[in-house]
Amino acid sequence: MMLIGVGCASPAHVRTSLPLRTLEAVDSPSPTRADALRPGHVRTSLPRRTPKAENGPRLTWADVSRGRDDPPPSEVRTSYSPKEAVHEPPFEGSRADAPVLTYADMSSVESTRPDRGVTGPPPSGFRTTYSPAGTIGESLFGKRPSSEWRPLRFATLFDEGWDEPWVAPPASPGSAPRQGWLNAPDGDFYRLGFLTYGFSDIHKHEATGHLGQFTLHTPLSRRLMLITNVPFVRANDNLGTGPMRPGRRGGAGGSMPDGEVGAGDVTFTPRVMLIDTRDFSMVAQTSVRVPTGQMSTEGQTILTPALQFWSNPFGRFSVRGGAGVDVGLNRAAGNAHFIGQTAVGYTFTDHDVPLLGDFTPYVSGFVDADLSDSSNTLATVTTGFRNHVGRDWYVLGALEIPVTGTRTFDSMTSFAILKNW
């Protein structure tokens, strides 16, 4: 990458490697949006940033230096592709006659000192990038405001979002919260952990299955996240709970012989954000179930690639769905299965209502069809709810009932306690 000190992109097209709060006016009176800002009186409060040239008019260093003959500030560097570097026109004319860059020209770049600079959201086209370690760390532990969120398009899948920390999206146009439900697809990114307990009625009360598992959602950037599901105890059960679980071969791993108690198979699910807008998001993911449990899985490794979406069509309604294929990597895993889910819910209360915040009842449909035997199909209906009790703690509940003749259980009841951070 060549460095050129004679030009930089127009402010409306600047992309930076810094958080947005980067400019601080020093050694000068407090400016207003209409006042001129001399770069000789600007310093960056964080490491170096990299404005990149994109479409739009060019600004030269003379435009931002008011006749200064020194090179760009040491905190700032301008990078271009070789083609852009070759065709970058040199500055012509007297530097003393160069126009002044004002706060208004900078389109409300946010300042670290509101009393000495301007505040406001970043301009259109302005985005924050980090190193890989910085992106992951900020995604996992950062407290970035929703005002820094911006849409992600499928057309920029390979260009944007991978080096940007995850930011919780703002409220949807209809104020429907983006929140996961039990036994329903997500279609979105979250930063949370939850503990689930479920019990199932098997063969008309002949047996009862039990499942306890912990699930962790960890965003690594705006485009990538990892879900880790650990079934730590199972008894007489061959079903798992959670969004887009694998099929009857066990969301928690394999078949559980009668009377046996043990741990289930750990599942890792990398998820990629394809589209992210205020009222719609779509993700692609592949669940990988590793045969680590203490039951007769016969060494099965199961992959479940899937697409999921979340939408807020109107009001406080949320609609989500997903489809995937449950594929075993060896013969012991059996035939491939089609997995499909759709859910609809409505949020009745606001987030801060005591004990009943974001109260959302929902209905979810689940289908598991053997692709080699159409008669071997399981369909279930789940009714459930999610409720915010305070300080980003939630309680969830769900009741799942099969509606087809092919079934491995008669009903399953699940409860979960969840914490966002």
Give the domain-ending residue among 112, 129, 146: 129
Same domain, 415 and 290: yes
Query: For residue 374, what pLDDT is reported?
Result: 80
Q: Over the chain, what is the mean pLDDT?
A: 73
Total of domains in the chain: 2
Give the CA radius of gyration of the chain: 27
In a domain, 229, yes or no: yes
Same domain, 95 and 230: no
Same domain, 265 and 412: yes
Query: For residue 408, what pLDDT is reported?
Result: 75
pTM: 0.69
pLDDT tier for residue 257 given thresholds of 50, 70 and 90? low
Query: For residue 104, what pLDDT is reported?
Result: 38
Average pLDDT over residues 115-133: 61
Q: Write out pLDDT tens, residues 58-75.
A: 444 444 444 444 454 444
Burial (Cβ within 10 Å: 0-12, 13-18, ≥19) of residue 354 = exposed
Q: Of 297 and 159, which is predicted with more confidence?
A: 159
Same domain, 104 and 238: no
Q: Write out pLDDT tens, residues 222-239.
A: 999 999 999 998 886 554
Question: What is the residue range of 378's domain?
Answer: 192-420
Give the domain-ending residue among 107, 129, 151: 129
In a domain, 238, yes or no: yes
Q: Write out pLDDT tens, residues 273-305.
A: 999 999 999 999 999 998 887 654 556 788 999
Give the domain-ending residue among 106, 129, 152: 129
Separation in Å, CA 135 to CA 47, 160, 224: 14, 13, 11
Q: Could you tell me if 396 and 194 are in contact, meaning their C-beta atoms sit under 8 angstroms apart?
A: yes
- The Cα 230–Cα 238 span in angstroms is 15
